[in-house]
Amino acid sequence: MSNLGTQENIRVKTVGILREYLSKLENVQFNEDFLRWVFPEIPRVAPPFSGQISTLTLTEHTPGSKIRAERGKRLTFFLKEFVAILYFLAQECQKGGENGPLLNNYNPNIFRVRIDKGEGGYIIPIVVRRDRRLHSWSVFYTRGMEFDDLMLNPQARVFSPE
């Protein structure tokens, strides 16, 4: 058990999603860096994700490097898994950006996502937050930011696959 916060496991079973359909979701807004740098890397069809997601809700200010050191490789989702989970969230689970079993709407929800490109790949932090004005989810990526650069606030949730 982590001394950084409380951990919970959530069973998620999603359906596959077409990339073009994801861009048309009315209750999900993507920032410019996400659309420019991440969206083109999403596979044309993202397969379903079926399994458990572990959430760590922080109880103290914590740097990303401390979380990564404690949680290890299990902290990383593949981009296709993240997309399937995001679609599940937006269409079936928490449509209006409300609190629910998966995301907390008033604090950052952090996903560490691996993008496979060319010979290698890279890992980026993606933040999902509620947009109070639009009653939807906002998906943020800031180009050049690393997970280890983040200083996460108490009540932030960090997700990992199980």
Q: Which of 96, 98, 109, 87 is nearest to 153 (CA)?
A: 109
Q: What is the pTM of this model?
A: 0.88
Domain boundaries, the chain: 5-55+63-154
Return d(Cα 62, Cα 90) in angstroms, integer: 28
The three-state secondary structure class of 5 is: strand
Mean pLDDT of the chain: 84
What are 54-107's pLDDT values in tens digits?
A: 888 899 999 999 998 888 778 999 999 999 888 887 776 666 656 666 666 677
Expressed in angstroms, the distance from the first to the final Cα of the chain is: 14
